[in-house]
Amino acid sequence: MAETLLKAEKLKNFINGEWIDVNEMTAVINPANGKTVVDVPLSGSEDVNTAVKAAKKAQKEWAQVPAPQRAEVLFRVGNIMKERKERLSQLLTMENGKVIEEARGEVQEGIDMAFYMAGEGRRMFGQTTPAELKDKFAMSQRCPVGVVGIITPWNFPIAIATWKSFPAIVSGNAVVWKPATETPIMAFELAKIFEEAGLPKGVVNVVFGKGSAVGDAMVNHDDIRVISFTGSNDTGRSIASKCGEQLKKVSLEMGGKNAVIVMDDADLNLAVEGILWSAFGTSGQRCTACSRVIVHEDVKERLEERLLVEMEKLTIGDGLDESIKVGPIINKAGLEKIKKYIQIGKDEGAKMLAGGYVMDEGNHAKGHYFAPTLFTDATADMRISQEEIFGPVVSLVPVKSFEEAIEVNNGVEFGLSSSIFTGDVNRVFKAQRDLDTGIVYVNAGTTGAEIHLPFGGTKGTGNGHRDSGVQALDVFTEWKAVYVDFSGKLQRAQIDVE
């Protein structure tokens, strides 16, 4: 069924409500079987200029639409996504490779975000506050920034796009969006949904292409006042530097080196479930993936044994098969990076208990598959314990105490997500206080964020902004203070105070 979904479709840029052909195209490959799914346009800076011009014009009128009316469009978007959930899910699996169960969850996240942010159309609260002078009124309010640029990754091609575009739209901004070239279909489908939902022309514009062409043009464009980016640390730092020179707002969500802490009193069966889901879901290609297990030495061997038993049960293959639990790696470059880290781990002296190889035989021969991998006896300073691998690789780091576990967890460049399995309520409260990450889970894995809470991290994971939750509005709005003096005379703050 899925392979017929796009047969008659041709991907085009969506600019000012029109579908625009681009001459240069490149193939989008299904990582599960090596087949071409569709061709994606490779746009240039002129396409970005056209999109920004359309967005700038549309934004002025869109900002004048009352926020509750802007929200009605998002309600319609959410309902259309709900109706098309299965179709979107299958297309997502075709271009990205993640298993269909996860794809459905990702589409649901976009649906949830549509309804949540639509609700903000009636809640976009400012503040009223007492003025220090008589017969004077003071308040603050959120205002749109203008034209915003969003740059989204391939691993969550619709969820992250909704995290960024929906709060931008309901706040009264216009959007220029560059999706990842590996996964353009979700952007194409979402643009069609925006169109069908009645979003005015130019409020959302989709420009397909490479980061070196489209992304750079967006970052350097004078009329784009916000860049919201999710991706690699190297690219994020470059974007931050360029935006800083232009005094442009920038929101970054980048890497993670997330850990599950398993204490000596943990429910080991529950911990194993959490580790498997966090480490091998999405084939480890999540910024929230668990790539470290910090385990108390008293339960290390028992945890290893149970992990190995359950890892043997993992089914690996094409994500459209409902029985599959682990899908492919996005491309050959991803495979090569994982292979490099496997060798690094061996050279550093970690002991490999399972996996560690490319799966390229039988049903796996035409796709990009890597066997789920488990290292043990890793130390906190090893590269496999410090650097993001972005694949189905997890390392066990033994510790002697709760305090050492917290120290090891925090001793990395990143600070996105962390988890602790324990039955001790005192440890729970100390952990949620002391773990230096933007997200903390207790007796659950490192992944599974909900859209009404802020998503983001500390340290090298980002620059302090958050996707999702009401906090997402902060990226796409400016605060305006308003003073209304009805005294009939000039009153000077801080001077004419009696």
- Active-site positions read 253, 287
Task: Give whole-number Cα distances, 250 to 48, 93, 148, 228, in Å.
Answer: 18, 30, 10, 6
Q: Are 431 and 440 in contact (CB under 8 A)?
A: yes
Name the token pair of 231: 């991706």
Rg (CA), the chain: 24
User: Which residues face 370 on adjacent strands?
Assistant: 358
Name the token pair of 201: 């022309």
Residue identified by tokens 């011009």 is: 53
Instruction: Identify the three-state secondary structure at position 399.
Output: strand
Q: Are 62 and 70 in contact (CB under 8 A)?
A: yes
Q: What is the DSSP string of 1-51?
A: -GGGTTTT----EEETTEEE--S-EEEEE-TTT--EEEEEE---HHHHHHH
Strand residue runs (E) in 306-425:
351-354, 358-359, 369-370, 373-376, 393-399, 414-415, 417-421
Nearest to 134 by CA among 486, 384, 450: 486
